[in-house]
Amino acid sequence: MITPMRIFVLIFNAHTDNEGIHTVRVGDRNKILMFESEDDALRFALMLEAQDFPTPTVEAIDSEEIKEFCESAGYDWEIVPENSDLIIPPELNVEETDWQVEAANADSYESEQVPPAAETEFSESELESIRRKLEGLL
């Protein structure tokens, strides 16, 4: 049996109704980066912020939970080993994330729909499951 490991992912709008996970677009696929090191995840988050991206929160989660989520959502994942070469966020970011589109639609019924380029959100039941497991780590 493989022992699950604690990894770190980037979450936008953490602990809100509009929470989403950071993905990297590779071709026509989305990939979630799972950092072994919290420091590496924080550095990546700061680089995103420097690119005028919304500030993400670094969250510790069981790697198996993220893999299950990726399989259900059709995403890829990549484990970023501790002390590996520095990963730099892509130069191009999506114009609008799913959570930005949803917020705009809530504000205006006449807003033009832009198809989302990347699926970035967990379902409520998945979020609740992750929260319970995270609380269990404390």
- In tens, the pLDDT along 24-50 reads 888 889 999 999 999 999 999 998 888
Q: How does pLDDT run across 44-75, given as a tens digit for each residue? A: 999 888 888 888 999 999 999 999 999 999 99
Residue-range definition of the domain harbouring residue 32: 6-137
For residue 30, the model assigns a pLDDT of 92
The two tokens of residue 11 are: 């979450």
Determine, yes or no, domain membership for 1.
no
CA dihedral in degrees (138, 65, 80, 4; nearest 10)? 70
**Pairing between β-strand 29-35 and β-strand 76-80 as defined by DSSP bridges:** parallel
Tell the residue number behind the tokens 């953490």, with chain if given. Answer: 14
Determine, yes or no, domain membership for 89.
yes
pTM of the predicted protein model:
0.63
Q: How does pLDDT run across 78-128, given as a tens digit for each residue? A: 999 998 776 667 655 444 444 444 444 444 434 344 334 444 455 666 666
> Is 118 in contact with 20 (CB distance < 8 Å)?
no
Q: Cα-atom radius of gyration of the chain, to the nearest Å? A: 15
Total number of domains in the chain: 1
Residue 116: phi and psi, rounded to 5, are: -65, 140
